[in-house]
Amino acid sequence: MTGIRENRADLGGCRTLFGPNRQFPVGNGRVAHPSPRASRLDRILISTATLPSVLSWAIVAGHPADHRLVCASLAATPAASTPGPGLRRVRLHFLDFADLRERLRAWIETAVAAAPADPSALLDWWPAFKRSVSISACRLSQIARGRHVDAAAAEKAANLAADEAFAAVEEGDAAALPRAARARSAAAAAAVKATVGAARRTRHAWLRTGERPSPVITRQVRPPAACRLIPALRRPDGTSTADPSKMPGIMMAFWQRVCTAAATDPAARRVAAVEDTLGRVARLPLSTFGRAFAASGYALSRSLYHAEFAGLPTGPQLNRLRQTTTALVDRALSPAAYTANPHARLVGVGAACMPAPPALGGFGLLPLVEHVRGRHAALAARCLTGACPGLGSFQPPWALVALALLRHIHHAATPLCLLTARVLPAQGARRASVLVLGRPVPSTCPALIQLASAFSALPPPLILPSPALEPGPWCFNMPLWGNPFLPGATAGQSLEADFADLAGIRGFNTVGMAVRCCAAMTALLLTAPITPPGQPVNPAVARQLTQAYHATVLRGILQIEPAALPPALRSFPMALARFIALHPRMPPAWCAAAGVVANAPGGAAAAPAAPVVWSLLLRHLGWRLGTTVIPLLTLTVKQATTDARGPT
């Protein structure tokens, strides 16, 4: 039943209509608001004869219209009683779980199957059934509520575990990275599980109370059909067409040109932008020094960011950039003028002298290649500082990730192996590669290739004489491979280049382990019968020594199985020869200090941890540029650029 909208001008004629909220005539000015969402002119007015039969009244939202409707519920007779309070509201937490919903559905189906067929008996059965449904729903909601509490507790515990794992990573424990990743995944899964119910209720609330489209309003605001058509399309030749039958062909041709377009070279665009700036600098009335500073600060600087992280331009493009920059500084030629006539003016200063500072007779032109390599070297120095505890104020996560990737390449990798990585240039069909401890860095990780090859542009690092590095317990965990303190027979290489077979043994990666293994091999040799010089070892004795070597050295010290070694190192005589060749390559004082730690109570546990030893060694490495000493830990881009250029 709909209400009647009141008009105050006709209140005198509405004496027979009453407001059920107060049950008195509306003309006396005392009518209250039936709903806070209704207008002040909206009233629920019921006739005098109908008023005793009214059970409820309200103003509700109309659907699909956007009007507010006045609804009243009437009893069959005026003597009908008002409905009772009804059942207690049922909590519906169980709707968040499919198994609980299935349990309630199965229970209802079982109960309904036992319902009486007689209508009178069905009416008597219905109240008890509703009460049973309410009780069952409450029990299932309690179970669901307990699950919600458990999910919230699990989410909190997972977040705490993830925070602890990442705290361990920030403290320098690179081995905690996999555990931190798993903890973060577990925390995300727990968060999703804990918010499933809330997300479902939010979606249902939006469906119940959100905006509802009205067909009438939709038809009114919908644009005409002509506005929903493409008026015209432009062809590649500049003409346009409004014929709908030709538009699909034009669109297909456009996307075909997009999909089959030739790949563009980003480096070529950057070189063109640099040359455009060089051309504008050439038109300015500047001196040679002014042109050099302008070319460095305004032209070459446009490509520095891309060159640092995406690599330098290719060979022809890089040569072209060098030539045009040199022609601008020396002869005031723009790139276009240089291309038209490279010999338009006489050369005054060689290109090699231009990057030198003015105090040394140069023009201060930025050496692009050396500067980019200097940036790479400074970034690699930051990686070394961040991967070793105690060298910086904090350890950036990317440095620990780089260390973990290096260990994925070789089990014995340490931050120091960045200083001994080798760059193999391209030769024939072989592509250029970077070797870390003799193993190539995957081409799928260009950032790691950049870090591993950064120090190759600089001279080999030197051991700084001050402060002196005295032998001590730290010698036990000193890296055996990829260590600038243990050079190889070839200049610029480390010890693993001469002992690639031993470097492949897992666990055999420190001076202390080498000293222990050499001592154990020597002790085994002393237990065997003496073989006269020039005669082969008795095969039975060799087998006995090999078995002892497997039990004492491999399984006892290195804790590996013989099958994990190359075939040549599984026999005692061959392994003894390699260990005997390695021992003299280590400084005797360091071997003695490592031996003291190995024989002391606690053994290797008494030695400083490996990251502490890395930090100690990095403090004693650097470069010498003339009379200036450049420590590794304080290497700057300017120092690395100057060092990459070599002596001036």
The predicted structure's pLDDT at residue 25: 44
The pLDDT assigned to 12 comes to 42
**Which of 27-31, 142-146, 194-198, 524-528 has the largest mean confidence?**
142-146
Q: What pLDDT does 591 receive? A: 92
Number of helices (H) and strands (E) in the chain: give both, helices first: 22, 13
Question: Long-range contacts: 311-320, Cβ < 8 Å, 24+?
Answer: 311/446, 312/368, 312/369, 312/372, 313/267, 313/268, 313/270, 313/271, 314/267, 317/267, 317/268, 317/271, 318/368, 318/369, 320/271
In whole numbers, what is the pLDDT of the chain averaged over residues? 82
Smallest Cα–Cα separation from 307: which of 648, 642, 641? 641
So what's the pLDDT on residue 647?
62
> With contact defined as beta carbons under 8 Å apart, do 177 and 404 qualify?
yes
Mean pLDDT of the 4-31 span:
45
Q: Give per-residue pLDDT as tens, 53-63.
A: 777 777 776 66
Residue range 415-438: mean pLDDT, rounded: 87
pLDDT in tens, 558-616: 999 999 998 889 998 889 999 999 999 999 999 999 999 888 887 788 889 999 999 99
Is the pLDDT assigned to residue 643 strictly greater than 80?
A: yes
Contact (Cβ atoms closer than 8 angstroms) between residue 452 and residue 472:
no
Supply the pLDDT for residue 281. Answer: 92
β-sheet bridge partners, residue 240: 234
Helix (H) or strand (E) holding 24: strand 24-25
Interhelix angle 511-527/588-599, nearest 10 degrees: 80
- Closest of 441, 390, 384, 401 to residue 174, by C-alpha: 401
Query: Is 70 exceeded by the pLDDT of residue 26?
Result: no
pLDDT > 90 fraction of the chain, expressed in percent and rounded:
27
For 249, the token pair is: 């062909």
Helix (H, G, I), strand (E, B) or coil at 36: coil
Handedness of CA 286, 292, 297, 299 (dihedral sign): positive
Its sign, for the CA torsion 419, 420, 421, 425, is positive
What phi, psi does 433 have (nearest 5°)?
Answer: -145, 165
Q: Give the tens place of pLDDT for each residue, 250-289.
A: 999 998 888 887 777 788 888 899 999 999 999 999 988 9
Q: How confident is the model at residue 6 (pLDDT cuts 50, 70, 90)?
A: very low
Longest dimension (CA), the chain: 139
Predicted pLDDT of residue 11 = 38
Supply the pLDDT for residue 214. 64
Q: CA angle, 191 as apex, 189 and 194 as ends, to 5°?
A: 110
> How far is it, in rounded angstroms, from Cα 376 to Cα 455?
8
Percent of the chain residues topping a pLDDT of 70: 84
User: What gap in Å lies between CA 641 and CA 610, rounded to an integer?
Assistant: 31
Cα 511 → chain centroid: 36
pLDDT beyond 80 at 48: no
Q: Which amino acid is at 95?
A: L
| Mean pLDDT confidence for 34-59 | 67
Q: How confident is the model at residue 552 (pLDDT cuts 50, 70, 90)?
A: very high
User: At residue 534, does pLDDT exceed 80?
Assistant: no
Whether the pLDDT of residue 13 is over 60: the answer is no
What pLDDT, on the 0 to 100 scale, is given for residue 617? 92
Residue 76: predicted pLDDT: 67
- Give residue 536's pLDDT: 67
| pLDDT of the residue at 618 | 92
Identity of the amino acid at 98: A
**Which sign, positive or negative, has the C-alpha torsion 400, 402, 404, 410?**
negative
pLDDT at 39 over 60: no
Tens digits of residue pLDDT in 203-222:
666 666 655 666 776 777 77
| Confidence (pLDDT) at 53 | 78
pLDDT of residue 373: 93
